[in-house]
Structure 1
Amino acid sequence: MADDDRRKRFKADDNKVKGTLMLMNHHSISTIADEVFGRKVCLHLISAVRSESTARGLRGKLGKETHLKNWVSTVITPSTKGDCTFELDFEWEDEIGVPGAFLIINRHHKEFYLKTLTLTNVPNVGRVHFICNSWVYHEEHYNNGYRVFFSNQTYLPGETPEGLRHYREEELEELRGNGTGKREEWDRVYDYDVYNDLSEPDKGSELLRPIFGGSVGHPYPRRCRTGRPLSSSDPDMESRIGILHSLNIYVPRDERFSDLKMADVYAYGLKLVSQGLLPGFESVVDKLSDEIVGTLENFINHKFEAISSNKFNEFSSFEDVLKLYEGGLKIPKFNFLESLREKIPSEFLRELFRSDGEHLSKFPVPQVIQEDNSAWRTDEEFGRELLAGISPVVIQRLQEFPPTSKLDPVKFGNQNSTITEDDIKDQMDGFSVWEAMKHNRLFILDHHDPLMPYLRGINETATKTYATRTILFLQNNGILKPIAIELSRPHPDGYEAGAISTVHTPASHGAKGTIWLLAKAYANVNDSGYHQLVCHWLHTHASIEPFIIATNRQLSVLHPIHKLLHPHFRDTMNINALSRQTLINAGGLLEKTVFPDKYSLAMSSNMYKKWDFTKQALPADLIDRGMAVEDSTSPHGVRLVIEDYPFAVDGLEIWSAIRSWVKDYVFVYYKNDEAVQRDKELKNWWEEVRTKGHGDLKNEPWWPKMHTCDELIESCTIIIWVASALHAAVNFGQYPYGGYLPNRPAMSRRLLPEPETVDYDELEENPDKAFLKTVTPQLQSILGISLIEVLSRHSADEVYLGQRDTPEWTADKQALEAFDRFGAHLRKIEQKIEAMNLDERLINRTGPAQMPYTLLYPSSDIGLTGRGIPNSVSI
């Protein structure tokens, strides 16, 4: 009898499929582990090849219910916090065939983060792997009471196994939602909305901004819909959540930062709060008592009152600025800081508040002054940073002289440039203007037209500035130097009367030398604001979000293009939501730290009217700016007009590597154009990107039709380029270049002094003081530096271009081999960049500041490195 029992048991084991479920170690896991044995979590395998009729139609046959069996905790390290694994036994009948998905039901009151499920002995198949990476909430939060996860196989819609088709469609319906109701923490809904969440009408007209998106006057990309109630004061505006809940603003839970990254956000936020400089991050103490929170808010409000106090609002010398990096700059001491420190219950929080309550924490020394703290003042460094700095995507080849304005002359009068050939003829190595343009020697940094429509209003705020045009000449040695800067402001008689302009040329001594340094500062103020609001926020953060929403709504996780693009969307919705809450909102940090003030998003919206998806491709962008010409003999299809243009040189290498990878990948699944045209999910995805996500520009003729493999390859390459390399190029140099505010001031507070005044005399007698009285004041400088220090750091869990967070992201061998080639290609590019930065002939790669250009170096370490291309817009 014993032998019979043994044989029966062996036979039963033959029908069991062994599984390992991995969960992220989380504060709730220990609680779950205590109760799962009480059948709180159950799973069913779903057949991909055997179907059964149900009340909801034909579905893959379900295997029998199983539960988590043994809890085995992996080794926990400080960096990973470990993962928790559970063993499972699935009863699996041969006729069910291959499991293509599983459903999971959570009857536990706590959610958990499900990472993977691995089956090891599926009959006739062997190993089957499921990548989940998703939060699983209680069954009551799902329409069907369960979640479905698919294996890492990839299928075009028409090739989906019969057993999985219904689940594929059901999952997309769940993610699309019904467009109504307030979204809750556990919701997984991706939907669109306009930017009507930036204002606080209840607090007065000063915090009222237009709605961006959905109108001809203020077009904008769409953002994630939260469904929050409308404001009682203005029913067109969405109500805002309190500052203390900023980190809890809705995005689908799987789009939230990881615990590791959230810890970074908390840590840096606390550091800034300890300085009393960063409103919005007081949310890090949202679990403290109301009394403590009130004290903290009082502290921050009082600290910002000091910004308007002349006593604490000026740097007296450049030595004072340098003290920021030595920990020696004193700021006002507030008595109630002591009471706040005493009430903080955490040793960690208490440590962040300095014992003297008086000195700022020491800032890292920005790279631009590490080797030479005065090189930034040179004309050569000014020009180099337009090719290898934080904003290398604005400079254009000069193709008409004098430059003309495209502003409506009826509204704005004559806005054409007043720069003449006499102003610059002595600085062009004997060339005439016509000859210099013919030989591609003249370039322009033109911020006149984008700024002028808002300049009258801007100059009624604390800001006092100009709209600038800067002409630069490319010398024989390859160095780009500014040779004229035009400063323009609206005519006192009104916009219709045109502009008042002055032209300034290089000088190194006396009042004219200081005026030239200030003219470059005004140009940098323009460039800094335009960079932050247009090149950075609009062209990367805001423009990518609609692609994320559409991808999740219309492309199944089984779809090859979803698998291709998904890594390049990581953390973007979360950082954008936080930005709308604390950075780009009315009265937010960007309005406090960049010159357009309350006109910031209006200027950004106006520039969106000129956004062209196809010109986000690097070669197309370079051609459009006149910085390259088409050349079929070039490896990248274009030839640069400035050979030593580090951003473009490195960028084209990265662009071509991405395009090669995308091409190899796409042709794994689409053998011809007809396959693209047959793909209904792809069609719906692209239609939604165009008509909803970027709906204000839906009728533009430049949108690809998405009928061919080439259109698909080019579009996916653009999306990946923008989300990864372009964002890296315009983001991670913010602190290395802009952490020293004199190099890239974010605002100016006065216009040029008039001759025969005390302030004009100061230009000659004390030029450093005159400069510092003009640019960003002390506490706002510290606020801006604090902010960009956070934004320029790589988190500990960053995933870089050419990497994936799991090696088994697909089961397709051809795709994995193509991805390996991509990684190898990027490693060769790294070596090439290192070699070029050591080549003394390539002057623009280091320049007077002796600062190698590394922003497009693919890999990086953790922290403030000035290098590295994350897969996504993740900070």
Structure 2
Amino acid sequence: MFGILGGNKGHKIKGTVVLMSKNVLDFNEIVSTTQGGLVGAATGIFGAATGIVGGVVDGATAIFSRNIAIQLISATKTDGLGNGKVGKQTYLEKHLPSLPTLGDRQDAFSVYFEWDNDFGIPGAFYIKNFMQSEFFLVSVTLEDIPNHGTIHFVCNSWVYNAKSYKRDRIFFANKTYLPNETPTPLVKYRKEELENLRGDGKGERKEYDRIYDYDVYNDLGNPDKSNDLARPVLGGSSAYPYPRRGRTGRKPTTKDSKSESPSSSTYIPRDENFGHLKSSDFLTYGIKSIAQTVLPTFQSAFGLNAEFDRFDDVRGLFEGGIHLPTDALSKISPLPVLKEIFRTDGEQVLKFPPPHVIKVSKSAWMTDEEFGREMLAGVNPCLIECLQVFPPKSKLDPTVYGDQTSTITKEHLEINLGGLSVEQALSGNRLFILDHHDAFIAYLRKINDLPTAKSYATRTILFLKDDGTLKPLAIELSLPHPRGDEFGAVSRVVLPADQGAESTIWLIAKAYVVVNDSCYHQLMSHWLNTHAVIEPFVIATNRHLSVLHPIYKLLLPHYRDTMNINGLARQSLINAGGIIEQSFLPGPFAVEMSSAVYKGWVFTDQALPADLIKRNGSGGSILSLWPSPCDR
């Protein structure tokens, strides 16, 4: 890709720059440049029109040849002030359409740098974009550097017009250094780049910004639109603790100066959003489409509150689907990730693939065996734990919520323990609990005051049988005391039954547990414990670890798309009146409930094996619930 042309002084090093246009999938995008008034279609710039190759190459070369400039920075020679030498500004030259190493939708351009031995070995470069439209810089490669060889720069970053930046964009060679190992000529540039990423904490963030800063969750509500859409600020207080999100700096609402005005476009640092280049982006836009078109139609099909009146309606989602209007389908059809669910031929729209348990038997889901199996193989195996204290106790403040100790007794359990006593089952680590009590009881009065929801707080005790399966023994259904929270809970214990009215009550009790577990999974296990808690780590990493730091490179792949999806979630999923509030039991209190659970979140408890050890107490039986690698 690169080669030295000539001798040791006054000669040139050839380089290759790989990039992608702003919208490589949008064939109607028109790219305008600020120099020379050049205008060309994106398809023409990047070779989509293969029938006129000559014109495509000439057009791309003309547009980019004097509109993207690069300056090399030395990692071994200083400018007399201790900083790496900066070379002369050099522009991209010829388009290289046939380069065999190019990835999908990537284009390469040659560039030549003046060279002499007094410059040393390049370790970074500045790049300036003089075009109106941004581009995605993939990489820069230098080969045959005298006394060195090849230098590769992995960039993967959006570059906007140079006037958008207070300091020139800089990229470093694909090497890693701890701070104290950084070559002296690069120390200043490493520090300046981190300062750029931190910003000054002022003003509203713009699309082209790359600033990582913290803020609280104060953008979920919309009090200016309706008092019913006001939501408390999450984070920054003991009442509502919460992980931090990325700061956008939008103006406050008129009615609540602590709340940020919602927006149809939520800022995230530019490199956290790859535009239309990844399937995950189609998913995030699909979320918005569902919120705006599909959910209202779904509600219309099944009634105002989108409730099912018959089991046949539920089965219909797996057998026949429902029909959506043509205008709704047209908005969904461009989203490939949704095609499996949303068909555009007008037939069997919203048809879901049937679960395997339904394929075996339409009533198999009603059995205790399936109920126990789903504690581990279902959506939320993250909460079940070995029962350590009997009867189960609450962690809620008794001065506020009174005595919330479980009313499940030994007699309730021992009739189904196969001759074992509760003490024997406890000592043998064979009793497990799925405890949704504390998370729900504190909000249950508010939830049950809603016109669309009625529920219980639940505790479920299960027994580990000799064959390794879990058998439900008892379900406790609790409501707040009618005289006030300080009087504790009013509880009822439901036991397994397979005949008469008791069997129906038992089935309904299991349904309450499943609903609670599903809500807990989405709001706490999924949203809170994976999405929300990771975002401040993404921010901190970019603020404090240089791209040259080995830990940064280790963490980067694990952060991919997190801030992007979280931003869309705050806009369409967990926002006031969003999909979560419309669909989930807690309604407008959904995210607030996750804040209450976050009070007990401990960082060091999250990873394995610490999580399993915590959920098992002193025993080891919870590990036995998961099959060994040989069994998989």
TM-score range, shorter chain: 0.7 to 0.9
Secondary structure of the residue that 1:518 maps to in structure 2?
helix
Corresponding letter in the other structure for 1:176: R
CA deviation map 1:677-701 (0-9, x unaligned):
xxxxxxxxxxxxxxxxxxxxxxxxx
Cα distance in 2 between the residues matched to 1:266 and 1:469: 35
- Paired position in structure 1 for 2:87: 63
Q: Where do residues 32-43 of structure 1 align in structure 2 (5 Å cutoff)?
A: 33-36=60-63, 38-43=65-70
Q: TM-score, normalised by structure 2?
A: 0.87
Return 5+ residue gaps in structure 2 as ranges. Answer: 24-30, 32-41, 46-58
Q: Is the 8 A contact 1:504 1:516 kept in 2?
A: yes
1:209 to 231, 235, 238: 231
CA deviation map 1:488-509 (0-9, x unaligned):
1112222223222111111112
2:308 to 314, 318, 321: 314
Corresponding letter in the other structure for 1:21: V
Cα distance in 1 between the residues matched to 2:128 and 2:181: 28
Is it true that 1:176 corresponds to 2:172 in the alignment?
A: no
- Paired position in structure 2 for 1:644: 625
Q: Is the 8 A contact 2:401 2:487 kept in 1?
A: yes
Distance 1:309 1:132, change over 3 A: closer
- Quote the offset at 1:99 in angstroms: 0.8
- Quote the offset at 1:326 in angstroms: 2.8
Distance 1:183 1:315, change over 3 A: same
Distance 1:562 1:264, change over 3 A: closer
- Paired position in structure 1 for 2:403: 414
- Paired position in structure 2 for 1:708: none
- Paired position in structure 2 for 1:423: 412
Secondary structure of the residue that 2:252 maps to in structure 1?
coil
Cα distance in 1 between the residues matched to 2:76 and 2:242: 45
Secondary structure of the residue that 1:149 maps to in structure 2?
strand
Secondary structure of the residue that 1:625 maps to in structure 2?
helix
- Quote the offset at 1:398 in angstroms: 1.0
- Paired position in structure 1 for 2:604: 614
The Cα RMSD (Å) is 3.0
Secondary structure of the residue that 1:512 maps to in structure 2?
helix
- Paired position in structure 1 for 2:52: none
Corresponding letter in the other structure for 1:252: P
- Paired position in structure 1 for 2:390: 401
Cα distance in 2 between the residues matched to 1:68 and 1:92: 16
Is it true that 1:138 corresponds to 2:131 in the alignment?
A: no
- Paired position in structure 2 for 1:185: 207
- Paired position in structure 1 for 2:48: none
1:625 to 593, 615, 625: 615
Q: TM-score, normalised by structure 1?
A: 0.64
- Quote the offset at 1:418 in angstroms: 1.1
Distance 1:345 1:74, change over 3 A: farther
- Quote the offset at 1:301 in angstroms: 5.2
Quick one: percent identity of the two aligned structures? 50
- Paired position in structure 1 for 2:487: 497
- Paired position in structure 1 for 2:368: 379
- Paired position in structure 1 for 2:256: 234
Cα distance in 2 between the residues matched to 1:488 and 1:562: 47
2:592 to 602, 607, 629: 602
- Quote the offset at 1:88 in angstroms: 1.6
- Paired position in structure 1 for 2:36: none
- Quote the offset at 1:309 in angstroms: 4.4
Q: Which has the higher helix share?
A: 1
- Quote the offset at 1:143 in angstroms: 0.8
Cα distance in 1 between the residues matched to 2:304 and 2:190: 61
Q: How many residue pairs are counted as aligned between the two chains?
A: 593
Corresponding letter in the other structure for 2:74: S
Cα distance in 2 between the residues matched to 1:562 and 1:323: 48
- Paired position in structure 2 for 1:256: 273
Cα distance in 2 between the residues matched to 1:487 and 1:210: 29
- Quote the offset at 1:514 in angstroms: 1.5
Secondary structure of the residue that 1:69 maps to in structure 2?
strand
- Paired position in structure 2 for 1:468: 458
Return 5+ residue gaps in structure 1 as ranges. Answer: 1-7, 283-298, 332-336, 630-638, 650-831, 838-875
- Quote the offset at 1:64 in angstroms: 2.5
CA deviation map 1:18-74 (0-9, x unaligned):
211111254456558254455111111111010104xxx542112222221211235
Corresponding letter in the other structure for 2:152: H
Q: Is the 8 A contact 2:385 2:622 kept in 1?
A: no
Q: Which has the higher strand share?
A: 2
Corresponding letter in the other structure for 2:349: L
Q: Is the 8 A contact 1:306 1:313 kept in 2?
A: no
Secondary structure of the residue that 2:83 maps to in structure 1?
strand
- Paired position in structure 2 for 1:327: 320
Cα distance in 2 between the residues matched to 1:260 and 1:38: 25
1:122 to 133, 136, 145: 145
Corresponding letter in the other structure for 1:115: V
1:108 to 106, 110, 131: 131
- Quote the offset at 1:263 in angstroms: 7.7
1:154 to 176, 196, 199: 176
Cα distance in 2 between the residues matched to 1:435 and 1:345: 60
Corresponding letter in the other structure for 1:325: F
Instruction: Using the TM superposition, name which of 360-369 and 387-396 deviates more.
Output: 360-369
Cα distance in 2 between the residues matched to 1:316 and 1:460: 24
- Quote the offset at 1:363 in angstroms: 2.0
Cα distance in 1 between the residues matched to 2:285 and 2:514: 28
- Paired position in structure 2 for 1:97: 120
- Paired position in structure 2 for 1:710: none
Secondary structure of the residue that 1:103 maps to in structure 2?
strand
Cα distance in 1 between the residues matched to 2:535 and 2:5: 54
Q: Where do residues 633-712 of structure 1 align in structure 2 (5 Å cutoff)?
A: 639-646=620-627
